[in-house]
Structure 1
Amino acid sequence: MSAKREIQPRGFTVGLALVDFLPVIIFSIMFAILAYRLHLVVFTMGTVLVAFAGLLKATWKLIVAMTGKNIVWMNLQMRTTMPLGFLLILSEIIAQSAVYRTLNIVFVFAHISLASWIFIVLGCVAMIAMSVFAFTLDKNDTQSNWIEQITNTCGQLCFLLAVICA
């Protein structure tokens, strides 16, 4: 079976493809707020890469839904672009932690609002569910895609609300 045939989803609708933009938009807003608050260049570069990867993947789904055309690289790029973006984000967080090593972590966590904690936990539950879905749901099945997109959107929304409440 060719790679093109393996990743060509069945039954993608324009509605499903449009819903796929929601977590990308929510993620982008959340990390734009964080990047603005933190003023960290590498962190910001990482968030741009992650958002770009998600945008390309969502655009790929929209093209598939509207034309049936499968532009393979738009889907496959996410395997490298998104992890690279998250690696940059993580490296900046680690670097900043080393700089502020004397900062009392308990003090920082104690000042996060209860509402933020609730949203963080809910967002993490959604991301754990997404990890389970990666192994249990059929990527080419429309219903599985709806489940993943709704879960991802809810998780990203929880994280955005956690940032707003912080």
Structure 2
Amino acid sequence: MKIYTRTGDTGETGLFGGPRVRKDVLRVEAYGTADECNSAIGVARAAGPDPMLDAVLAEVQNQLFVVGADLASPNDSPYIPRVSATMTAFLEEQIDAMETELAPLQQFILPGGTTVAAYLHLARTICRRAERVVVSLAAEEAINPELLPYLNRLSDFLFVAARIANARAGVDDVPWRKP
């Protein structure tokens, strides 16, 4: 199978089990943004987080493929995995476990610290953009109601993961200093 099909050369793409649509529709923007978030997590993993964090990030990357498949599949299909409350609960468990290692926040922090943390902050902001696009999509058409809680919790997870990457590396978070 060739990587190129030429079917998208006119600015359209096919949804799983659905019609061909323009590449700039909200559904495509949503799963494309989730894919960007996944890629940013991949860059954070390539920067060398500790093995425990890396394993959790690998699981999150796999979950983001489910997010993409869910968003790319407007029709019900038993063959397409869907985002579930169990996936959101997994993120909450990870957040709770990591927060036991962290001092409570006393001030706002800036993205930065270690390279891993900086990339996780980037992934967090991409996740927030994905969430905004999914909110817009949900206003126009039906989506899996588990998508928004998952993306909201994912951005929280990525924030805490960035903090834990810094803490485990012995690097302080970067405090915001009011001008």
Q: Which bin holds the TM-score, normalised by the shorter protein?
A: 0.3 to 0.5
Higher normalized contact order (CA 8 Å, seq sep 6+, divided by chain length): 1
Greater share of residues in strand = 2
- TM, length-normalised to structure 2: 0.41
Greater share of residues in helix = 1
